[in-house]
Amino acid sequence: MRTPFVAYIVLAALWCGCVLSARTQVEQPQPSDSGSSGKLTLEEYQLHLQKLQRIVATCSAQRNATACDPSQVGPDESVVAPSGLHHVRYDWLRTTLKDAASDNDVKADDTSAKKHFNEDSARLQLATQRLAEDAQPTAEIRSSNEQVRRNLNTVLAQSEFSRAQDSNELERAEAAAWRWLFDRFRGVADYGYSNPWVARLFLWSSVTLPCVLLALWVMFRLRRPHALAVSAEPIETAGPSAREWQRWLQEAEAFAQEQRWREAIHHVYWAAISRMEARGMWPADRTRTPREYLALLHRDHNLQPDLRRLTQAFERIWYGNRPAEERQYREARALMERLMPR
């Protein structure tokens, strides 16, 4: 009976392990030596690029630890552009300056050091070119975006788009609701970007909550009283259910009319067993004893007490060869009715 629940627990553990192992792949790496990122306008970004060009030029000329100090680069930045927020990282420039600072003690006969010196010089030249190229397109991009906006407004002003401008109160309210919802999501996303602990909290919550709910569900199912699993095999012709429980009960009533109480109780008991077996409480098997039928129900099953009392009365009267009375028959009949209501 508990094998399916063990399988559920194993599947839950495997699922949690897969999600936890994927955490290292999902989590974004934190920038090194970058400090806190700031937001710059296009003009401020252009001025910063010019400052970085001067730093690279000084480093190329002097090649010492002071002139090539990577901390002069500053933190990574976020540039507010017409097309959106762009994140700029300077790890490549810090590495270039750091490597160049270590080339100030090159000996004339050291071929390997001179080769490294020349490679770093080439990297400084490439850095200068890259910074110069990054500083140029800002005005062009801005003018290009403005031109795209003007073209778009011209297209939307045409007659075929005039109907799209007319909207009723309901549509405007719906659009306002969607804008409000998107603004809230955007605020949460921005807050999560500046506070990485929010993403980690969401990740751990998405892992922990399903695991806890699954564990509670398994515990609840294990504590519920339940009968033996219903067998998919057909009922054997030798089982008590081979005779309908109504027939057992009719014969019990016939014996009761003749005041043959022992036989009446005997048939009442088997009517109860036949009814429960026909309902799938256990697989059919006529070779079982009354005690074995009783053992098929778990101790915490709600039908177990009534079946135990009926079994004890049946064994005491039938197998104990004791006389029976009408009162005992009525009690056995009431127990049988409680075991499986019609």
The domains located in the chain, with CATH, are 38-157 (no CATH), 240-339 (1.20.120)
Distance CA 62, CA 67 (A): 7
Cα distances (angstroms) measured from residue 161 to each of 126, 152, 154, 166, 236? 49, 12, 11, 10, 77
One-character DSSP codes across 79-145:
EEETTEEEEE--HHHHHHHHHHHTTSS--TT-HHHHHHHHHHHHHHHHHHHHHHHHHSHHHHHHHHH
More confident: 297 or 106? 297
Is 22's pLDDT higher than 70?
Answer: no
- Which residues pair with residue 87 across a beta bridge? 78
Task: Give me the pLDDT at residue 1, please.
Answer: 44
Rounded to whole angstroms, the Cα distance separating 126 from 46 reads: 18
What does the alpha-carbon distance between residue 66 and residue 70 come to, in Å, rounded to a whole number?
9
Question: What is the phi/psi pair of residue 171, to 5°?
Answer: -65, -40
Please tell me which of 78-82, 147-151, 204-208 the model is most confident about, judged by mean pLDDT: 204-208
pLDDT digits (tens, 9 = 90+) for 307-339: 889 898 898 889 888 888 999 999 988 888 888
Q: How many whole angstroms separate alpha carbon 342 and alpha carbon 110?
A: 102
Task: State the chain's mean pLDDT as an integer.
Answer: 75
Coil/strand/helix, residue 325: coil
Please give the backbone phi and psi of residue 291, each rounded to the nearest 5 degrees, phi first: -65, -35
The pLDDT of residue 255 is above 90: yes
What type of residue sits at position 308?
A: R
Tens digits of residue pLDDT in 229-242: 444 444 444 556 56
pLDDT at 261 over 90: yes
| Residue 44 scores a pLDDT above 80 | yes
pLDDT at 168: 77
- The yes-or-no verdict on residue 3 having pLDDT over 60 is no
74-78, 114-118, 170-174, 325-329: segment of lowest average pLDDT: 114-118
The pLDDT, as a whole number, for residue 9 is 60
Cα–Cα distance, 246 to 267 (Å, whole number): 10
